[in-house]
Every structure is written in C-alpha cells, then in structure tokens.
Amino acid sequence: MSLTLEQITNGLTPEHDLVFPSRPENPDMRESTSVWLYDEAGKFAFPRVGIEAEASSWDNRRVQGNFALAGGRILDGATRGAAHSPFNAQGRPTILGAGPISFECLDPFRKWRMTFDGTASDGTVESQIAGTLDANSRTPVKFDVELNMVTPAWVQDISPEVVAKMSEADAIEAANMGIGWRYEHLFRATGTFEIGGIKHDFKGTGLHVKRQSVRPLGGFRGHCWQSAVFPDGRAFGYITYPPRDNGTAYNDGYIFQDGKMYPAKAVKIPWLRRIVGEGDDASVELESELGITKISAVTAFNTFRVNNPDLQGLNLNQGGALFTWDGQSAYGMMERSSHTSLTAIG
C-alpha cells in the first residue's frame, strides 16, 4: 500500500528530512542518522551503522559500523571521520557524511541511499563479549543500499516547549531521548554488501532513525527498543526505559496495521539479562486499542559493548531478532542496555 505524503510525514514537513547545512550554533546540538538493516535471507545484518555529528566536533564526526554474519562473525567499523559536504547537485542539504560512510535523502520521508567504503575490526561475538576483539585485524567492507520507507514516521516531538511543561522526572526521561526532534521509519531495502572482496546482492528490511537534538545522557539507566516490518506490511516499534522508584517509566510505541498507526505500550518487555551471542528469548507484548498483541522473538546478529563507557558503564546490546507474529516471520532490530549488576554473561 502506498502512503500519502501526509501519512508518511505524520505531522512533519518534507524539510524535516533534510540535514543541517552548516554547524549549529549550540555546541551540544547534534545531527544523527542511523540504520539497522537485516538481510531477508538471514545471512547478515548491520545492527546499527550511523553518524553522530555533534556541533562541538562538527568536522570530525563519530561513525558507527556494526556488521554481523550468521554463525557469530562480527565486524566493528567504529571510527571518526571528516565531514562531507551536505549539499547535493541541486544545492539542497540532503547528505550527512563522515569518513567512510554517507547517508543521502533522495526523496524526503520516502527514499534514502547509504554507502560505506572502509575497514572494520574482524572477529566473533564471543571475542567482543570477552573484550579480546583484535582492533588491528582489519577487513575491507563496502555497501551501497537504497532504503524505501514503508511505514509512517514515528515521531518524538521533544522540543524545549514540550519539555518545559513536563514534570522533572519526565523531563529527564525526555532528555535521554534528546531535546528536539527524533523520528524513525521501517523500510525495505535493496543493495550490495561486500566483505573481504566477496560481494553479495541482497534484499532486506530495517529501521532508519533521524534526529536533530541535544541529548544529555547523564541520567540514562537502560532501555529496551525493538521494531520490525512483516511480509504483509504490518509493523511495530517501541522504546521503554526501566521503571523508576515510583513504578513509572517512559514507555511508548505503535502498531502499524491496515494503513493505520495505533499507539501502544509494551507490557511484556525482554530486558537485557543475559549476554549471549544468539538464541535469547526477546518476545514482547504490546497493549493498544487492538488488545494485547503477542510477538515472539529469538535474538540473532548480536553485537555487544560490555561496560560501555559512553553509557555510564552500562552493558549495550545492538543486534536483531527473528520475530514471529500470527505465523509470519521477519528479522528486525533490537537494542538493549542494562546495568552490569542485572546482566550475566552466558
């Protein structure tokens, strides 16, 4: 089903899908684009490739390049890279690039292209968990992929005006998401992936996230985030944080079905409790006006950062899962984090 521009922008404008044409004045402002992508045949995944372009280091941007192959092989292409020009041939600010990676908006809220041409540390998820991944064992990696959005933008309007009306506790939760704009779409993709000189043509699905926001993470205490699109077009997504001492927490999501987005919240949540390469239960239940929607899932294509210094020492799992909903199956994204006291290795 083809979505209208009004449906796919979901209250935003096409200009929201463009990028900053120059360094923002606020040194804490960031432009960020990231993608989770899964080969529909289950051979490989990109469990987050992206750019964090922070105004304070605008010309030297953080790049993340996670690659995972069936069987437990992973590659880590994290680096920093010089900024690319944001302007396309028509002079519009459509390109966010850094070093080996580039994202280009080809048609706002409908189509993006992403490319990568660099190297990545080559190892296994077990070596990554153990902290023994050899950073000097580098393998050439390339991809060229076109992303076609198939769900409306799921929008988080966390502008300063909105935050100003929140309670102190809710404002802290909002800051963890980022003060500004954030939205995500599920997509279908076609492209090529080349690793170590071996080229693969593929089709896949995944998640595209874009934000322009200030994002202090000092109060971040963990999260669980999942989404997937299924063969018949149904889709879901949600993000939630662990409950606070009073039992409340940020918990927001949606179910997309028959061309409509239904607000939802997670009522059964697969928090990160085991650090294992694959096979962990990641099933979720969502509550909406449709009732309780049960989606079973088993983890796959996991990558880990144990005692992640960027998240106050939390354990971070960026991976995927094979989801099953009413007999349909699809690979989709999963990102989770938790305190080391709550997680066991193995």
Domain CATH code at residue 292? 2.40.370.10
What is the band of 217 on the pLDDT scale with cuts at 50, 70, 90?
A: low
* Structural domain boundaries, residue 114: 12-345
Residue 30 lies in a domain: yes
- Give a yes or no: residue 4 inside a domain: no
Q: Are 93 and 21 in contact (CB under 8 A)?
A: yes
- Has residue 341 been placed in a domain? yes
The pLDDT value recorded for residue 248 is 79
* Averaged pLDDT, 240-260: 90
84: closest CA among 155, 15, 33, 26?
33
Residue 7 lies in a domain: no
Q: How many residues does the structure list for the chain?
A: 346
| pLDDT band with cut points at 50, 70 and 90 for residue 344 | confident
Give the 3-state secondary structure of residue 56: helix
β-pair type (344-345, 274-275) = parallel
Has residue 79 got a pLDDT over 90? yes
What is the average pLDDT value for the chain, to the nearest integer?
92
- Average pLDDT estimate for 125-131: 93
Number of domains in the chain: 1
Asked if residue 112 lies in contact with residue 208, where contact means CB atoms within 8 angstroms, the answer is yes
Q: Do the domain assignments include residue 195?
A: yes
Question: Is residue 304 in a domain?
Answer: yes
Q: How far apart are CA 135 and CA 138, in angstroms?
A: 7
- N-term to C-term CA, the chain: 43
pTM of the model: 0.93
pLDDT-wise least confident of 102-116, 128-142, 269-283: 128-142
- 283-286 contacts at long range (C-beta below 8 A, 24 or more positions apart): 284/226, 284/238, 286/236, 286/238, 286/253, 286/255
CB half-sphere exposure, 290, CA atoms < 13 A: 18
Spatial distance between the Cα atoms of 179 and 216, rounded to a whole number of angstroms: 9
Spatial separation of the C-alpha atoms in residues 98 and 221, rounded to whole Å:
29
Structural domain includes residue 6: no
Give residue 307's pLDDT band: very low, low, confident or very high (50, 70, 90).
Answer: confident
Least confident span in 141-150, 239-248, 261-270, 329-338: 239-248
Read off the pLDDT band of 205 (50, 70, 90). Answer: very high
Cα–Cα separations (whole angstroms), residue 126 to 133, 255, 309 = 9, 34, 19
